[in-house]
Amino acid sequence: MKKTILKALLITGLVAGLGTAIAFTSVSAAEIGADAALADESLTVDEMLVYAMQDETLAKAEYEAIIAQYGEVGPFSRILAAENTHIALLLPLFEAYGITVPADESAAEVVVPATLAEAYAAGIAAEEKNIAMYNAFLGQEDLPEDVASVFQSLRNASVRHLNAFTRQQNVNAFGTKMQGWMNQWKKNLSGSNGTCTGDASQSRLGSGR
């Protein structure tokens, strides 16, 4: 799925440790992921699979970096596990169609957002772009059935991820507002009590009571 959070979605490939015998090759930074796919007006099956692998692999690297920085926060921790599944779904297609899996250079491109709020917003944008990419793939004529099935599954998963990021963003925004309201209420209450107490004391002293 997706472009680098906070940077252009560039340079990706296959995740280390997946244990595949498929050959690896480097890919130009100008030909990466969802951005490249959405700009490509003559998509082939080979290109679609490479773009999809790049996007899914970069998403995994991004979420790993965010979790390393902020801990096992949701929904990143849950979606990270899904990224491994997405990559595993794509790999057999590379073998079936004799396509070389792009090299994984995503770690060098990942930049962790300064705040979790920024990370959620970036995740939303990335998922939206990923969904658009798969919709473009599924709109191609003569798309092989096995490829279309995987693309549809990955697109549907991205829709769920988008919903999860959106819900979390809304929860965080509401929590921030509530905290702000509480802080202001406490401040106003403190100021109001101080004023009332002072006025009451002055009134009693002034009246001789």
Tell me if 185 is assigned to some domain.
Answer: no
Tell me if 123 is assigned to some domain.
Answer: yes
Closest C-alpha to 15, from 54, 50, 70, 49: 54
Chain-centroid distance, C-alpha 77: 11
DSSP 8-state code for residue 28: -
Tell me if 36 is assigned to some domain.
Answer: yes
Query: What mean pLDDT, rounded, does the chain reach?
Result: 77
What's the structural domain count of the chain? Answer: 1
Tell me if 18 is assigned to some domain.
Answer: no
Tell me if 65 is assigned to some domain.
Answer: yes
- Look at residue 147 in the predicted model and tell me its pLDDT: 98
- Look at residue 32 in the predicted model and tell me its pLDDT: 82
- Quick check: 37 pLDDT over 80? yes
Identify the domain containing residue 42 by its residue range: 24-172
Which H/E stretch holds residue 102? strand 101-102
Task: Give pLDDT tens digits for 78-128.
Answer: 899 899 999 999 999 999 999 999 998 787 778 899 998 999 988 898 899
Tell me if 7 is assigned to some domain.
Answer: no
Tell me if 15 is assigned to some domain.
Answer: no
Please compute the mean of the pLDDT values over residues 15-36 and round it to a whole number. Answer: 50
pTM above threshold 0.75? no
> What CATH number is given to the structural domain containing 124?
1.20.1260.10
Closest C-alpha to 84, from 116, 107, 108, 61: 61
Tell me if 98 is assigned to some domain.
Answer: yes
- Quick check: 2 pLDDT over 80? no
Closest C-alpha to 33, from 110, 117, 143, 96: 110
